[in-house]
Amino acid sequence: MTLRIPAAPYPFATDPATLGLLVIDMQRDFLEPGGFGASLGNDTRPLRAIVPTVRYLLAGFRALGRPVIHTRECHRADLSDCPPAKRERGRSRLRIGDRGPLGRILVAGEPGSAIVPELAPRPGEPVIDKPGKGAFCRTGLDNLLRDLRLRQLVLAGVTTEVCVQSTMREANDRGYACLLATDATASYFPEFRAATLAMVTAQDAIIGWTAPTAAILGALR
């Protein structure tokens, strides 16, 4: 069965049996005061503002019985998977691995690495811990998607121009058709979010499609 979801730059054709939801990095370290994002001088409110929409999108996919996968950007406790060029970048007082208000920054198992409680994964929903921006880099995500027989992805999460876009580009290169939920993604910089939405849909969906959450769930229902 093929459905058409109203989207930019043109309708997204999908077989729901091959479609899953990928929620990127909705973690305390990025969304909450005291986290890594805030330590870089960012206002976390734009990211927290999308939590209700992401929760609505999650509920819709769960109700439809479609796979939901979560990601977290975090590193091993010994930082062996964190390149020095990543840890040493920037002028922030706190760096990856340092102890902050939410525990060691971007370290697996620390409070800040956890997904915010409102969007907590349910039992059986895979969680991919990724050491890089893209969710395919040094993870088992591609194998997981193939095991689930998914060929199309709806993406949500943060930040639009970094981890979400990186993952979308990686997925595109691996042959997955991607649809980004416009109101379920956010950036610390609104202009970066807008630019990313324009870039991914340029040239007849060179990277993928975009659509609001209501349009996605409305078509799938």
Active site members? 25, 130, 163
Tell which residue, 164, 178, 166, 136, has the closest CA to residue 18: 178
Pairing mode of beta strands 103-104, 99-100: antiparallel
Angle (CA) 94 96 97, round 5°: 100
DSSP 116: P
Residue type, position 138, single letter: R
User: Helical H runs in 75-164?
Assistant: 84-87, 141-147
SS3 state at 46:
helix
Strands across the sheet with 152-158, in order? Answer: 127-130, 68-73, 19-24, 152-158, 177-186, 209-211
The packing angle between helices 213-220 and 51-64, to 10°, is 10
Cα separation values, 41 from 10, 87, 88, 91, Å:
37, 17, 17, 11
Give the H or E element holding residue 158.
Answer: strand 152-158
> By the 8 A CB rule, do 98 and 88 touch?
no
